[in-house]
Amino acid sequence: MAARSPGATFLGIDASNAQIAAGRSVVSALELSNIELRQQDILDFAPAEGRFDYIIAHGVYSWVPAPVREKILAIAAANLAPNGIAYVSYNAMPGSGIRLMLRDLAFFHARKITDPNGKARRARELLTTLAGPMAEDNLPHIVLFRQEFGYVERSPELYFRHDLMEEENHAFYFHEFVAAATRHQLQYVSEPSLWEILPTHLGAKARAALGKCEHWLDLEQQMDFLRFRSFRQTLLCHAAIPVRRQITAKAIKEFAFEAHFRGPAEGVDLTPGVPVKFTVDEASHFSTPQPFIKAAMQALSETPGQSIGYAALVEEASRRLPQSARAPGDKGRDEIALMNDLMQAVAAGMIEIHFAPLGPAPMVSDKPRASPLTRYQATNSDRVTNWVHAAIAMDPVPRHVIAACDGNRTIDDIFEVLLTAIADGRLSIADGAQSITDRKQLTDVLRPQISRIIADCTRLGLMG
C-alpha cells in the first residue's frame, strides 16, 4: 500500500523483531519514505500517536490474550480519525469449532512436550496419521474433519506452528465481537465484500426464515450459522457516525465493477429476447434476455482483472447496442434494470466492486517497466500483489521476465537476461523431460512468450 500510495503515510507495529526486520528490508529495497515499521507491543501503543484514517489488525485478534484484544479495540477507538475505518480479522464461530476440536486433540496428544516446535511436530504427525483412514469415510463428522486435515497437509511447518499450535487461539461468535467493539464506543459497519453480508445466495427457504430477523445483528449471526462461517474481517467505525444500512440499487452508480464471470464461448447474441448465460463456475451463473444488460455484461466479461466505472459501462453498453435494438424511452428503463442486475451480481459475488476504476491499461511499450514493488516480489517470491492487493501466483518464467522489466530493456534485452539465467542454472526450460539450452530452440520456444507475459501483466495492472 505504501508503494502504491506515495501520498499516504503508514505505520506498522509488531512485537516480533524478526517480522519487523523482514518488513524493513522490503521498505529499504523499495526506498520508501512514507512508511515506518516499528517493533512495539500493542499494549504500549499510545493515544498520542495521533489519528489514522485506517487501522488494520489482520491475523492478530484471535491469537492474543484478552488484554491485548481489548487494547486493539481501544486503539481503534482512540486513534481512529472521526470518519476512519478500523479492520479487525478473527476466527469466527461456528465454523472454527471443528479446527479448535482438532487443536484440543493435538495439544492433548503432545501434552508432555514442552518445546513449542517439538510439540507442533508431534501434533502434525498424529493429524497426518489420522488423515489416512479417514480419507474414504463419509460419516458427517469425518467429512468435516477431512477439510481440516487438508489444511494441516497444506500448511507449511512454520505456519502450522503459529496458527493451530499457537498458545493463544480463540474464535468468536460475531455477536461477541460486536459486544466487545460496543464497549469501546465502536460500531459495526460491514464486512469488506458486500456479498458476505447479504443473504442473497442462501436458498429461498433460508432467506425467508432470515427475513423475520428484527435487527442486522441477528440476521448476520444467523447467517454465520447457516454458512458455517469460520473467518471474519469486520469493519468498524466510531459509534456516533450514522451508518446507512439500507442499500439501494442506485448506490451502485458510485462504484467501478470487476467481473468474476465469463461470457459464452460462442459469443454474446444481443438480439432482444434471446437469453445469454454468463458463468462463474458450474454452480453459479446468471442469464438475461435483455440486450442492454447483455451488452454491459459482455463488456465486463472482456476485461477480467480490471474494473469499469458505472458511467463508462453505460456508455460502452450503448455503443455496443445497434440503435435498431433500442426503442425511444428504453434508456431510462435500461439503466434501472442495469443498476438492479449489477447489485444482484455483486450480492451473489459475481462482480467485485471497487471505489475507483482502474484506468485503461497502459500500452505495452518498447521498454516495458513493471512497478518496483512487482519487480521486487517477482525477484524474491513466487507471488506478486496486484492493484487490489490480491496475491497472484507466478511461474518461474514470468517471474524472470517481470524482474527484468526495468524500463531500460527491450524485449530482445529481456530475452538475453533469460538466456543468462538459463546458462547460470537459475531458470530452466523443458520440453517434456528434456531441458532446452540451445539458443535457436529457445528463440522459438521462449522468445514469443515474453510479449504475451508482458501483455498479461499489463492487463492485471502490474506494469508501470
Residues that bind ligand SAM (CB under 6 A): 14-16, 19, 41-43, 58-60, 63-64, 68
φ, ψ for residue 307, nearest 5 deg: -130, 150
Q: Report, in Å, the least distance between residue 19 CB and ligand SAM.
A: 5
Type of residue found at 181: A
Q: Which one, 64 or 76, has the nearer CB to ligand SAM?
A: 64
Q: Which is nearer to ligand SAM, 20 or 337 (CB)?
A: 20
Q: Least distance (Å) from ligand SAM to the CB of residue 227?
A: 23
Alpha helices for 199-262 (secondary structure H): 204-210, 216-227
Strands 35-39 and 10-14: parallel
Q: How far apart are CB 404 and ligand SAM at their closest, in Å?
A: 29
User: Least separation, in Å, of the C-beta of 79 and ligand SAM?
Assistant: 15
Q: Output 169 or 371, the one with its CB closest to ligand SAM.
A: 169
362's grid cell: 497502459
Q: How far is the CB of 163 from ligand SAM (least distance, A)?
A: 7
Nearer to ligand SAM, 32 or 68 (CB): 68
DSSP label at 202? S
- Nearest residue to 134 via CA among 120, 121, 153: 153
Nearer to ligand SAM, 26 or 43 (CB): 43
- The least CB distance from residue 167 to ligand SAM, in Å, is 11
Helix (H) or strand (E) holding 118: helix 116-134
Residue number, 14 or 49, with CB nearest to ligand SAM: 14
**Strand 80-92 versus strand 171-172 pairing type:** parallel
Mapped onto helix, strand or coil, the DSSP state of residue 2 is coil
Calculate the CA dihedral of residues 405, 410, 413, 417 and round it to 10 degrees: 10
Beta carbon nearer to ligand SAM, 10 or 63: 63
Decide whether 70 or 382 has the Cβ nearer to ligand SAM. 70
What's the angle, vertex CA 442, arms to CA 440 and CA 445, rounded to 5?
115
Nearest residue to 90 via CA among 115, 116, 68: 68
Distance from C-alpha of 95 to C-alpha of 334, rounded to nearest angstrom: 41
| Nearest approach, Cβ of residue 74 and ligand SAM (Å) | 13
Region for 228 from its dihedrals, namely left if φ exceeds 0, alpha if ψ lies in -120 to 50, beta otherwise: left
Q: Minimum distance from CB of 22 to ligand SAM (Å)?
A: 10
Residue 44 or 282 with smaller CB distance to ligand SAM: 44
Would you say 63 or 286 has its CB closer to ligand SAM?
A: 63
Name the DSSP class of 440: H
CB of 393 to ligand SAM, least distance (A): 18
d(CA 64, CA 84): 24
Q: Which helix (H) or strand (E) is 302 found in, with range? A: none
Helix residue ranges per DSSP H, 362-463: 372-380, 396-404, 411-423, 439-445, 447-459
Q: Report helix, strand or coil for 3.
A: coil
Question: What single-letter amino acid sits at 303?
Answer: T
